[in-house]
Amino acid sequence: MNALVRPLESLGRATLGAFAGVGYAAALLWESLYFAAFGWRIGQPLRLRAVIEQMRQIGVDALAIVALLALTIGVMLGIQFIAALSEFGAQSQVVVAVAKSVTREFGALITAILVAGRSGSALAARIGSMNVSQEVDALATMGIEPVRYLAAPALIAMLIMLPVLTVLADAVAIVGAALYSSPALNVTPTAYILQTLSLLTPGDVWQGIAKSAVFAVLITLIGVSTGFSVSGGAEGVGRATTRAVVLSICWIIVVDMVFSFFLNR
């Protein structure tokens, strides 16, 4: 009997836990947006300084690494597309293939994964350790809503910076592809880039930007909610950090697939 009940019981617990997690994240999203919009009315204003500080940590500090990775991805895509398309003698299609796949897919995806690793984990670790050392309680008793003080600035900053980073990644990746592919295509890099610009539609770029906004919400909510639910000291903080990164990246990839499906029908 026990052998039958146990797995069912743990399945039930896990399901309930997952639903509770999603519900908690939704409540966090609502509260963060509420404080951002109406916080000043109830004495809980969102501080511009906190948002700017978060924007620096999430966005500006990530510029170099995002650019470097995007450049690498661009070169890699150039290599692969030239190799694959030259089998059909269609090298010239490399330009459009790179342009569309970068703006619609890779720019947003790579940036989001990188930011999840950098800032999602940092959010979880920071809030988690604050939770463990009672700093979150201290904020609450001082009349400073922890969600307003810790979550809302991160959410707003992420919503601004992730799309910005994505556009940057798009541009750099295309430059990377241009640098590699233009000799193979017998054009100058400038000509390659000009051709890319003429082939791209605003819709392509918007697709990436729309995705990145959704990723921004996912990364922040997962980071913040795992941080707030930390218990069990330093080990708990470590576990939360890992969990935040793994969960964010899983969600990013799944949501990306779903978006791609619906946006390309």
Partner 1 sequence: MNATVPLIEVEQLEAWYGRRRILNGVDFTVNAGEIRVIMGGSGSGKSTLLRHLLGLHKPRSGWVRLLGVDIARAGERQMLDVRRQIGVSFQGGALLTSLSVGDNVALPLREHTNLDEATIRIMSRLKLEVVNLGGFQDLMPAQLSGGMIKRAALARAIAMDPKLLFFDEPSAGLDPVVSAELDELILRLRDALRMTIVVVTHELESAFKIADTITVLDQGDILMTGTVDAVRQCDNERIQDLLNRRPREIQVDADAYLKRLTEEAA
Q: Which residues bind partner 1 (CB under 8 A)?
A: 2, 42-44, 126, 129-130, 133-135, 137-144
The count of other CB atoms within 10 Å of the CB of residue 201 is: 11
User: At its nearest, how many Å lie between partner 1 and the CB of residue 133?
Assistant: 6
Report the number of secondary-structure helices (H) and strands (E) in the chain. Answer: 12, 0
Which of 101, 131 has the CB closer to partner 1? 131
Instruction: State both tokens at 111.
Output: 């940036």
Q: What is the 3-state secondary structure (H, E, C) of 175-218?
A: HHHHHHHHHHHCCCHHHHHHHHHHHCCHHHHHHHHHHHHHHHHH
Which of 5, 64 has the CB closer to partner 1? 5
What single-letter amino acid sits at 33?
A: L
Distance CA 231, CA 226 (A): 10
User: At its nearest, how many Å lie between partner 1 and the CB of residue 141?
Assistant: 4
User: At its nearest, how many Å lie between partner 1 and the CB of residue 119?
Assistant: 15
User: At its nearest, how many Å lie between partner 1 and the CB of residue 131?
Assistant: 11
Residue identified by tokens 């539609």 is 201
Instruction: State both tokens at 56.
Output: 């620096």
The count of other CB atoms within 10 Å of the CB of residue 73 is: 22
Which of 24, 194 has the CB closer to partner 1? 24
User: At its nearest, how many Å lie between partner 1 and the CB of residue 45?
Assistant: 9
Distance CA 112, CA 59 (A): 11
Which of 91, 121 has the CB closer to partner 1? 121
Which of 86, 133 has the CB closer to partner 1? 133
Contact 158, 150 (CB under 8 A): no
Instruction: State both tokens at 53.
Output: 């500080």
From residue 107, alpha-carbon distances to 12, 36, 167 in Å are 38, 28, 7
User: At its nearest, how many Å lie between partner 1 and the CB of residue 15?
Assistant: 20
Q: What is the 3-state secondary structure (H, E, C) of 116-158?
A: HHHHHHHHHHHHHHHHHCCHHHHHHHCCCCHHHHHHHHHHHHH
Torsions phi, psi of 98, nearest 5? Answer: -65, -45
User: At its nearest, how many Å lie between partner 1 and the CB of residue 8?
Assistant: 14
User: At its nearest, how many Å lie between partner 1 and the CB of residue 138?
Assistant: 4
Q: Interior CA angle at 256 toward 247 and 37, to 5°?
A: 75
